[in-house]
Amino acid sequence: MSNPKQSLQSLNRLSKTDFHQAEKNKIFIIIDQVRSGLNIGSIFRSADAFRIEKIYLTGFSPLPPNKEILKTALGATDTVAWEHHPDALNLVQTLKSENIKVFAVEQTAHGIPLNNFNIDSNASIAIILGNEVDGVQQSIIDICDGTIEIPQFGTKHSLNVAVCGGIVLWHLTYLKLNAGAQL
């Protein structure tokens, strides 16, 4: 049985103009103190794939048009809305005051396994992805609505931050679409 790859044209992806005008998935990403532009670019690309609302880059995270970000984002910095905020803690407080539920993606004593995580399809949600070595800052975890953890079964204690972000974004998008949200 033949199963040929689809051509780029047959995938019917949005143009940049259509992407900007399209309704977005009410998911926000806070990238806190991530050092690698390659990781950030990869997160931008996943954010484009799942049509998320906005990325917030905080602290010393590199910003577009950083060469490494552009290398892995493959143009997603031109489609996904983004802002820089120097202080992630202040940003989280602001988002919470706007009724956005904020969850750190981190291994904590009371983290919710991703496969058990659920959210109202109409709710706006922000996820925080932390530094490659230190993760999400404890002071930020302390004010979040909770933490989400991806169950793992190998010897390593964590996933790459960009891989982690892609997995969580897929899950959140899947939950929203299955609950009747439209994208």
> For the segment 29-58, what is each residue's pLDDT rounded down to a tens digit?
999 999 999 999 999 999 999 999 999 999
The 3-state DSSP class for residue 10 equals: helix
Is the pLDDT at 155 greater than 80? The verdict is yes
Q: What is the mean pLDDT of the chain?
A: 95
Share of the chain above pLDDT 90, in %: 89
Global pTM reads 0.95
Of residues 109, 102, 74, 75, the one with CA closest to residue 88: 102
- Fold classification of 23-147+158-178 is Alpha/beta knot (3.40.1280)
> For the segment 156-173, what is each residue's pLDDT rounded down to a tens digit?
999 999 999 999 999 999
pLDDT at 57: 98
Is the pLDDT at 179 greater than 90? The verdict is no
Among the residue ranges 7-11, 46-50, 65-69, the one predicted with the least confidence is: 7-11
Is the pLDDT at 129 greater than 80? The verdict is yes
Structure tokens that stand for 105 in this block? 């993606």
**Contact between 165 and 29 (Cβ < 8 Å):** yes
Average pLDDT for residues 7-11, to the nearest whole number? 87
**Contact between 23 and 41 (Cβ < 8 Å):** no
Average pLDDT for residues 81-106, to the nearest whole number? 98
What residue spans define the domains of the chain? 23-147+158-178
Is the pLDDT at 120 greater than 90? The verdict is no
Angle, nearest 10°, between helix axes 37-49 and 161-178? 10
Average pLDDT for residues 121-145, to the nearest whole number? 96
Structure tokens that stand for 107 in this block? 């291994």
**Contact between 180 and 121 (Cβ < 8 Å):** yes
pLDDT at 55: 98
pLDDT at 26: 95
Is the pLDDT at 183 greater than 90? The verdict is no
CA angle 9, 13, 19 (to 5 degrees): 145
